[in-house]
Amino acid sequence: MRKATIARKTAETDISVSLNLDGTGQYRNETGIGFFDHMLDQLARHSLIDLEVTAKGDLHIDDHHTVEDCGIAIGQALAKALGDKRGIRRYGHFALAMDDAQVDCALDLSGRPYLVWALDMPTAKIGTFDTELVREFFQALSTHGGITVHVTKRHGLNSHHIAEAAFKSVARSLRMAVEPDPRLGDALPSTKGAL
Closest CA to 74 of 48, 54, 91: 54
pLDDT surpassing 90 at residue 107:
yes
pLDDT surpassing 90 at residue 143:
yes
pTM of this structure = 0.98
Per-residue pLDDT band at 57 (split at 50, 70, 90): very high
Tell me, what's the pLDDT at 166? 99
64-82 vs 34-47: helix axis angle to the nearest 10? 20
User: Architecture of domain 3-178 in CATH?
Assistant: 2-Layer Sandwich (3.30)
**Contact (Cβ atoms closer than 8 angstroms) between residue 195 and residue 188:** yes
pLDDT mean across residues, the chain: 98
**Contact (Cβ atoms closer than 8 angstroms) between residue 141 and residue 185:** no
Q: For the chain, give every domain's residue range.
A: 3-178
Provide mean pLDDT across the span 66-89: 98
| pLDDT tens by residue, 111-133 | 999 999 999 999 999 999 999 99
Provide mean pLDDT across the span 132-159: 98
Tell me, what's the pLDDT at 1? 85
Spatial neighbors of 191 by CB under 8 A, at least 6 apart, are: none
Tell me, what's the pLDDT at 191? 94
| pLDDT tens by residue, 159-190 | 999 999 999 999 999 999 999 999 999 999 99
